[in-house]
Amino acid sequence: MRVKHLLLVFLPVVGLAYWVTHESNKTRQSIKQVKSLETQLRDDSQRLEFLSVEWEYLNRPDRLEALVERYFDQLRLVEAHVTRYGEVESIPFYDGEEVIYDQESGLLMAVPLSPTDTK
Amino acid sequence: MTRVFGQRVRNWRDRIKFWPRDASLRSWATRVADRQVFVSLGFLMLFLIVAVRVVEIGLTNPGSLQIHRDVPEQEFSRADIVDRNGEELAMTVSGYALYAHPHEMNGDEARRRVAIQLAALIDDIDPDRLAAALTSGRKFIWIKQRLTPEQKQDVHDLGEPGLHFGRRPVRVYPKGKLAAHILGGTTYGDAAVNSAVIVGNAGVEHHMDARLTAPGQSHQPLELSIDSRVQNVVAKYLARGKEEYQAQRASAVLMDVQTGEIHALVSLPDFDPNARADHQSSELFCDPVQGVFEFGSTFKIFAAVQAIELGHVTPDSMISNQSFRLGRYQIRSTERGDKMLTLRDVIAQSSNTGVAQLALNIGSAKQRNFLSQLGLLEKSSIEFTEAQNVGPLTPSRWAELETATISYGHGVAVTQVQLAAAYATLVNGGFRVTPTILKRTDMGPATDRVISEETSRVAVELLRAVVTDGTARYANIPEVAIGGKTGTADKQRPEGGYYRDKVLATFASVFPTDNPRYALVVTLDEGTSGDGSKWERSAGRTAVPVATVIIEKVAPLLGLDPNEQRIAARN
């Protein structure tokens, strides 16, 4: 009888004590994780800052102009000018080619209809 | 009778099984039993507290758990500056400052070695001065406020004790010189080892400092009215023009005539805002907002428009072009020497006598009032710190002679932005324009009418005549209908009077003239297109070609419809 009473008192106590310790450990773990995530977040956002600045820097107009000039033989791009408006009709649309969707690059690509057509 | 756990007991003491028969033992047992009750009550209390606390934590919002952040958010919270299309113009990144604790270094030998090593890694360090500072016995020395990430890594790799890094927000201008004068610059305010506050010290950065640092707005970029693509094209072709015509300085303002938003503002020479401290004041000076100039004949349109608005004349009225004396002053006719000119030709040929007569008819009080309504006699309200104290220069005595000279642009000195805004007002239907470099989002319909819609239409017609038949014929291109007025003003000597051979050549233009949308003012300081003769120095030979090239390049970027333009330019 006495043992049963003791058990009745102590088992819940031990159980609760265990549960409380467990929860507090879990909380501590979570706080630690949150802290490390925050550090990571800070580092990542710092990296992101640098990358976006770099992106803007690489895309600054004078650099793009220099690149357009340098690769003129491939790109054939010229500055916008009031005399250089085109007509929609003058755009060379695809002719004799098959347009396929390339899943890897996510682009529409024109391929010659037969392999012998290639230059 | 009490029950303990269902067992009937006489009192608490009965719970002790072996109740001693001996009296002394019995009193001991009684104390034990009492203590048991006391202790169990104590535990019960504790459990209750724990239980309440557990429930409370369980019910609270997990977000309210305050977790200490080791980097305060405010440190880096200066808002970005972007152009009207959201292109970044100013950004903030976290960088590092370098400082030293010399006492942590191993002897003077090591301190000198560190100084030499650092000087090799970082450009602007003088090894001797740094060595002297490190060996002076001081405990703390700032070495450099801004390190690049590479420099930080290099210094870190030295592995020398006593060198420390402090976190620093760094303001960067990724587009370099583009819009440098508008952005201005920043410096550090309060600087501690691990934090520093960026404060603007020029341009928009300074003027809008409160907005840029306002809590809660750091993620919302400040939008300027500048279009960086247009700005780039204007800067590029203005620079070419400045070189071609060997001008000392050059500046240009492109403004939306309806809203007063400035799409491009260039002042040459310019500077790199990332290294503002390395530049001279002549480069930092922003002519369009800081410089006040007599813009010469570009003012003639004001007298003409006012005379039309008052009903004195129409574009076809005949006006005498003969020289006349006013006091001891001779007002000369145009070089071609026609006896009479229509008002249209007075403007197109830029006749001083013609507009002087109009102005004398109008009278000085009304002239003054009109120029004031155009915003030419007030301090500029543009969002530039440098512009805040810049007011127009007006004559202390505004009598007949001044009325005559002001009508052709001598006697009142204004900024280029004010001139552009005045032109915008003339051609936008007649509404007062307030120039701004911030993007306007909440523009209600214009209400502040200066001239009638009809007069505004005539003003555009007169400006167009200057291009088709007058001094700005170079701007008569088939693709865009340009209108404008040239001004070749003799420069003032600092000691008073005017130079004989130094001019400020200006072309104040509006386009497209069938439905004016933009005003562009281009000014070349001491430019000449050839041998330096009077003719070669005139605005028609210098500023007009530069403005035309700029318009040809920016018109597609501004979204002007090419077909409409071609039709308009033909008429």
pLDDT of residue B226: 94
pLDDT at B4 > cutoff 60: no
* C-alpha B226 chain-centroid distance: 9
For B88, the closest of A46, A56, A79 (CB atoms) is A56
Binned at pLDDT 50, 70 and 90, residue B305 comes out as: very high
- Nearest Cα residue to B509 out of B240, B252, B179: B252
Domain edges within chain A: 2-113
Residue in A closest to B6 by C-alpha:
A5
Q: How far is it, in rounded angstroms, from Cα A64 to Cα A57?
A: 10
Binned at pLDDT 50, 70 and 90, residue B549 comes out as: very high
Binned at pLDDT 50, 70 and 90, residue B19 comes out as: low
Alpha helices in B60-124 (DSSP H): 107-121
pLDDT at B288 > cutoff 70: yes
pLDDT in tens, B387-435: 777 888 888 889 889 999 999 999 999 999 999 999 999 999 999 999 9
* Exposure of B78 in the CB half-sphere (CA atoms within 13 A): 25
Q: Where are the beta strands (DSSP E) in B153-203?
A: 163-172, 185-191, 196-202
More confident: B451 or B110 = B451
Cβ distance B339 to B324 under 8 Å? Answer: no
Angle (nearest 5°) at CA B245 between B239 and B248: 70
**Lookup: tokens for B421:** 């805004």
pLDDT in tens, B327-355: 888 888 766 777 889 999 999 999 999 99
**Which of A90-94, B70-74, B257-261, B343-347 is least confident?**
B70-74
pLDDT in tens, B185-198: 888 887 777 777 88
More confident: B333 or B85 = B85
* Exposure of B323 in the CB half-sphere (CA atoms within 13 A): 10
For A49, the closest of B17, B93, B480 (CB atoms) is B93
More confident: B299 or B492 = B299
| Residue A62, min C-alpha distance to chain B (Å) | 8
> Is A50 near chain B, with CB under 8 Å?
yes
Q: How far is it, in rounded angstroms, from Cα B324 to Cα B332?
A: 7
For B176, the closest of A16, A31, A60 (CB atoms) is A60
Secondary structure of residue A110 in the 3-state scheme: strand
Q: How far is it, in rounded angstroms, from Cα B290 to Cα B390?
A: 6
| Residue A60, min C-alpha distance to chain B (Å) | 5
**Which of B43-47, B64-68, B489-493 is least confident?**
B64-68
pLDDT of residue A78: 84
More confident: B297 or B31 = B297
Mean pLDDT, chain A, whole residue set? 80
* Exposure of B564 in the CB half-sphere (CA atoms within 13 A): 11
- Nearest Cα residue to B555 out of B242, B177, B175, B264: B264
Length of chain B: 571
Rounded to an integer, the average pLDDT of B152-170 is 86
pLDDT at B370 > cutoff 50: yes
The ipTM value here is: 0.70
* CA torsion, ordered B488, B489, B490, B496, to nearest 10 deg: -170
Mean pLDDT, chain B, whole residue set? 86
Q: How far is it, in rounded angstroms, from Cα B281 to Cα B91?
A: 24
pLDDT of residue B565: 61
pLDDT of residue B9: 56
More confident: B498 or B231 = B231
- Nearest Cα residue to B484 out of B229, B321, B352, B295: B295
Angle (nearest 5°) at CA B423 between B421 and B427: 115
* Exposure of B269 in the CB half-sphere (CA atoms within 13 A): 10
Buried b (16+ CB within 10 A) or exposed e, B23-59: eeeeeebeeebeeeeeeeeeeeeeeeeeeeeeeeeee
> Is A49 near chain B, with CB under 8 Å?
yes
* C-alpha B24 chain-centroid distance: 97
The CA distances from residue B513 to B338, B462, B482, B570, B571, in Å, are 28, 10, 6, 12, 11
Contacts of A13 in chain B (CB under 8 A): 43, 47
- How does strand A97-102 pair with strand A107-112? antiparallel
| Residue A50, min C-alpha distance to chain B (Å) | 7
Number of helical (H) and strand (E) elements in chain B, helices listed first: 20, 18
Binned at pLDDT 50, 70 and 90, residue B50 comes out as: confident
**Lookup: tokens for B264:** 């491009």
Secondary structure of residue B458 in the 3-state scheme: helix
pLDDT at B478 > cutoff 80: yes
Q: How far is it, in rounded angstroms, from Cα B399 to Cα B393?
A: 16
Rounded to an integer, the average pLDDT of A28-57 is 89
User: Do A56 and B552 count as a contact with CB atoms less than 8 A apart?
Assistant: no
Q: Specify whether the backbone of B496 is left (phi greater than 0), alpha (psi in -120 to 50) or beta.
A: left
User: Do A82 and B555 count as a contact with CB atoms less than 8 A apart?
Assistant: yes
- If one counts every other C-beta atom within 10 angstroms of the C-beta of residue B279, the result is 16
Cβ distance B287 to B249 under 8 Å? Answer: yes
pLDDT of residue B12: 55
Binned at pLDDT 50, 70 and 90, residue A117 comes out as: very low
pLDDT of residue A119: 43
Contacts of A87 in chain B (CB under 8 A): none
In sign, the C-alpha dihedral spanning B287, B292, B295, B301 is positive
User: Do A85 and B562 count as a contact with CB atoms less than 8 A apart?
Assistant: yes
Rounded to an integer, the average pLDDT of B96-111 is 87
**Which of A106-115, B143-152, B355-364 is least confident?**
A106-115
Taking only Cα atoms into account, the Rg of chain B, rounded to an integer number of angstroms, comes to 38
Could you tell me the domains of chain B? 1-42 (no CATH), 76-223 (3.90.1310.10), 230-271+284-570 (3.40.710.10)
Contacts of B7 in chain A (CB under 8 A): 1
Contacts of A16 in chain B (CB under 8 A): 47, 50-51
More confident: A115 or B53 = B53
| Residue B87, min C-alpha distance to chain A (Å) | 8
pLDDT in tens, B24-46: 777 777 777 778 888 889 988 99
Binned at pLDDT 50, 70 and 90, residue B110 comes out as: confident
pLDDT of residue A118: 46
Secondary structure of residue B342 in the 3-state scheme: strand
Q: How far is it, in rounded angstroms, from Cα B177 to Cα B172?
A: 12
**Lookup: tokens for B17:** 């099984």
pLDDT of residue B21: 65
- How does strand B222-223 pair with strand B196-202? unpaired
**Lookup: tokens for B106:** 């191993």
pLDDT in tens, B199-224: 888 889 999 988 998 887 888 999 99
pLDDT of residue B232: 94
Query: Dihedrals φ, ψ of B478, to 5°?
Result: -70, -20
Which residues of B have a CB under 8 Å from any CB of A?
5, 7, 17, 43, 47, 50-51, 54, 65, 67, 69-71, 87-88, 91-94, 149, 172, 174-178, 228-229, 232-233, 236, 477, 479-480, 551-553, 555-557, 562, 565
- If one counts every other C-beta atom within 10 angstroms of the C-beta of residue B482, the result is 29
Query: Dihedrals φ, ψ of B451, to 5°?
Result: -130, 165
User: Do A53 and B174 count as a contact with CB atoms less than 8 A apart?
Assistant: yes
List residues bridging with B267 in a β-sheet: B251
Residue pointed to by tokens 């450099």: B144
Give burial (CB, 10 Å; 0-12/13-18/19+) of B217.
Answer: middle
For A20, the closest of B54, B477, B556 (CB atoms) is B54
pLDDT of residue B74: 46
pLDDT in tens, B223-276: 999 999 999 999 999 999 999 999 999 999 999 999 999 999 999 999 999 888
Residue in A closest to B171 by C-alpha:
A53
- Which residue of B52, B94, B229, B565 to mutate against A (max A Cβ within 10 Å)? B94
- What is the 3-class SS of A5-29, one letter each residue? HHHHHHHHHHHHHHHHHHHHHHHHH
